[in-house]
Structures are given as C-alpha cells and as structure tokens.
Amino acid sequence: MRPFPKIHDVYVGRVVLGTVALTWAVLAGLDVMLGLVSEFGDIGKGKYGLSEAFAYMALSIPRRLYYLFPYAAVIGSLMALGQLAATSELTALRALGLSRRRLGLAVAGALALMTALMVINGESIAPWTQQRADALKSGAKSGNTVVAQYSGLWAREGETILSAAGGQERERDGERFLELNSVTLFEFAPDGHLRSLAHVRVAEHRPGGWLLRDVTRNYFEERSVRQEKVAEERWKSQLDAAALSSGTERPRYLSGADLRAAIEYRRRNDLDASEFEEHYWGRWFYPINVLALCLAAVPFAFGTLRSGGMGKRLFIGIVFALGFWLLQTQFVKLATVYKFDYRIAYLLPTAIMLGVSTFLFKRRSG
C-alpha cells in the first residue's frame, strides 16, 4: 500500500473534519440553548442568577461536546462523503486509482485525531469542569459555604456501615473537604452481631481518615451495654469523599479513574457495581464505537448518497447514529438484567454494524 497520508488523503480528511466540526457546532449549540432554558427555572434560588446560569452552561460545554461527538462524527462524515460523491469528486479519486479501502482509511485517520482529543477531554477536562459547574450552582444557591449537597447517605466499609442524614462538600481557607451531619456508625463483629453503635454530630473527611466530633458510642457486650462520650475521635478508614460522592453523583459524569475507584470500593464491600461498570466500559469502547460507526457508514457514500440531496444525507446519518445507539443501549440493558459481561454488550453491536458494512462494501465493489 502507498505511504499514508498523501495529498488526496489530506484533502478527504480536511473535508470530513470541516463538515464534522460544523455538524458538531450545530448540535452543541442546540444542546446548550436547551440546557440554558432548563436552567432558567433555578434562577432566583439563593444567589443563583442569570450570570451564574451562563457560567454553569459554559463549564458544562466540554462534557456536552464529549457526548455529542459520536453523533456529530457519523452525521458529518456521511454528509461530507455524500457531498464529495454528489460532485463526482469521489469518482475522480477512484479514477486516480484510490481504492474504497484507502478512502475509508482517510476518513478514519482524520476522525482518529478528533476522537483522541475527545478521549482526553472525557478523562480530564470534562469531569473537572462539570464538577466546577455543579459546585458553582450549589454554592450560589447556598451562599458559597456549601460546594455540593447530599442527603440520605449510606455506605459500607468492611464490618462498619455508615448512615448520615445529610452532608455537604465545604471549602474553607482553600481546603476542600466532605462534612457529614447526624452520622450513625454500625460496627458488626465477623459473626454478624452488632458490636457497637456510635452517634456522631459531625464527621469531617481529613487526610488520613475521618475526624468525628461529639461522639456517643454504645458498646454491646455479652450481658451489658457500655456507653462512652468523646469530644473528638479519629476514624481510620478507606472510605473517602470520592467513594461517597460517587454514590450521589451521576456515574456518566465521572472520569474513568473515578469510576474504577467506585467499582473497587463496591466490590470490596459486596455492593452492586453494575451501574459504574456500565459507564466504565462505555468509556473504553467510546473511541472504538466512534471509528467503527463512521467506517460502517462509508459504503453509503458509494451509491445511496450520490443521487440524494443534503436532506437525504442528513436523514441517513441521523438514522444510522440513532439506530446504533438504540442497538447498543438494548444490549447494555440486557447485560444489566442477565448479568453478563458489559464488554460483550458493547462489542456485539459494533461487530454487527461492521459486519453489515463489510457486506455492503464487498457487494458494491463487485
């Protein structure tokens, strides 16, 4: 095969990238406008005003771009290749000896760069800016003393179960920490009986563990109950703010590292981690899905799209993207219900789509 890329590869890639970027911008603009309209309902709560709503939406843009990119990629690719086919530029490139496989590689090479940037964004910028957006919104509503608000927390660490009536992430003197209110700690013995019960007014997560304030602890001995009261107590535990926050934050907004930590925490304590596993493996298959979906759409550019206008290309792109999304969503739901590996659920729709594309590719090459 000839060296890659060459001038015709760059040309095809530039057309695809330009159309994908334009499609992406339109989709993102519509999504941001709809999101901003939904934020108007919160304006007036505390100090949350119009400027805070605009700031919140601006900070949420990296996360929105991440989730919209696969749809923009397949719709934009189909529109770009369809336009090249309609103007006979694909025919001219074929006359120069460019194979359909080479054209597919040109499309994949161009999209691989944007996909790599989105993967980096999804693991670093998007989670960070979304957390800042949520912190800004919660802080404005609560007078900037509370960064994030939680209620009805339950967690388990080893033989200890924690219950808290509520909690909040605070920021004081440049230090950010998790504070829980009205905490109850149930400590069980290995044989299952209750060893002690502690009522804690405030629990603060600090480096090295938890600082418990105003603790009243009841010890259940064989034939008696003993009570102790202390003003402060240190509780060394692997249960951290990230583990508790992952239980209250939406898993789809967490980074891959945070999802992995949440999965390990739940497995360590025999808790259900399926929701986090679903999103964790979704992150791994994100670049595979984008490239596979766009490659699967390439055969349509060599016939179906040549005779159609912009509306037809747009319609096929939307149907293609939504069809793949619905198929994969159903497989993921089946994995949740029947408890089989999420990697299989994410891989099967991709394999089916590529199989159909290969069949169409060979059929139109014949």
Q: Are 356 and 296 in contact (CB under 8 A)?
A: yes
Question: Which 3 state secondary structure label does DSSP give 226?
Answer: strand
Average pLDDT of every residue of the chain = 81
Q: How far, in Å, CA of 275 to CA of 282, rounded?
A: 11
- One domain, residues 199 and 252: yes
Q: Which residues 6+ apart lie within 8 Å of 130 measured at CB?
A: 59, 60, 62, 63, 253
Q: Which residues 6+ apart lie within 8 Å of 335 measured at CB?
A: 278, 341, 342, 344, 345
Q: Which residues 6+ apart lie within 8 Å of 174 measured at CB?
A: none
Read off the pLDDT of residues 30-49 as tens digits, 9 standing for 90 and up.
999 999 999 888 888 878 88
Q: How far, in Å, CA of 217 to CA of 111, rounded?
A: 60
- One domain, residues 281 and 267: no
Domain annotation covers residue 1: no
Q: Choose among 74, 243, 269: nearest CA to 158.
A: 269
User: In the structure encoding, which two tokens stand for residue 174, read together?
Assistant: 């440049």
- One domain, residues 118 and 154: no
- One domain, residues 104 and 178: no
Domain annotation covers residue 35: yes
Q: Choose among 199, 234, 235: nearest CA to 217.
A: 199
- One domain, residues 242 and 168: yes
- One domain, residues 264 and 285: no
- One domain, residues 327 and 247: no
H or E element, residue 197: strand 194-206
- One domain, residues 176 and 252: yes
- One domain, residues 133 and 212: no
Domain end residue (candidates: 248, 271, 294): 271
Question: Which 3 state secondary structure label does DSSP give 150?
Answer: strand
Number of domain units in the chain: 2
Domain end residue (candidates: 244, 271, 298): 271
- One domain, residues 320 and 258: no
Domain annotation covers residue 315: yes
User: In the structure encoding, which two tokens stand for residue 335, read together?
Assistant: 């994995």
User: In the structure encoding, which two tokens stand for residue 302, read together?
Assistant: 């060599």
What's the CATH number where 214 sits?
2.60.450
pLDDT tens sequence for the chain (366 residues): 455 567 777 888 898 999 999 999 999 999 999 999 998 888 888 788 889 899 999 999 999 999 999 889 888 888 888 778 777 777 777 777 777 777 778 888 889 989 999 999 999 999 889 888 887 887 676 554 444 445 567 777 778 888 887 777 676 666 667 788 888 999 998 888 889 999 999 988 877 778 899 999 999 888 888 999 999 988 887 776 656 655 556 777 888 888 888 788 778 777 778 888 988 999 999 998 888 888 777 776 665 545 555 566 667 667 777 788 888 888 999 998 888 899 999 998 888 877 877 776 676 554
| DSSP one-letter string for 81-118 | HHHHHHTTHHHHHHHTT--HHHHHHHHHHHHHHHHHHH
Expressed in angstroms, the distance from the first to the final Cα of the chain is 21
Q: How far, in Å, CA of 56 to CA of 130, rounded?
A: 8
The two most distant CA atoms of the chain are separated, in Å, by 93
User: In the structure encoding, which two tokens stand for residue 124, read together?
Assistant: 């670093």
Strands 225-235 and 209-220: antiparallel
User: In the structure encoding, which two tokens stand for residue 173, read together?
Assistant: 């003197």
Identify any residues that bridge with 220 across adjacent strands, giving them in sequence order.
Answer: 225
pTM, two decimals, is: 0.71
Preceding omega of 251 cis (within 30 degrees of 0): no
Identify any residues that bridge with 166 across adjacent strands, giving them in sequence order.
Answer: 151, 181
Domain end residue (candidates: 271, 299, 323): 271
- One domain, residues 127 and 243: no
Read off the pLDDT of residues 203-220 as tens digits, 9 standing for 90 and up.
888 777 788 999 999 998
User: In the structure encoding, which two tokens stand for residue 357, read together?
Assistant: 């594309």
Domain annotation covers residue 2: no
- One domain, residues 190 and 336: no
User: How much is the pLDDT for 65?
Assistant: 95
Domain annotation covers residue 314: yes
Domain that holds residue 198: 149-271
Share of the chain residues as helix, strand and coil, in percent rounded to the nearest 5: 60, 20, 15
Domain annotation covers residue 156: yes
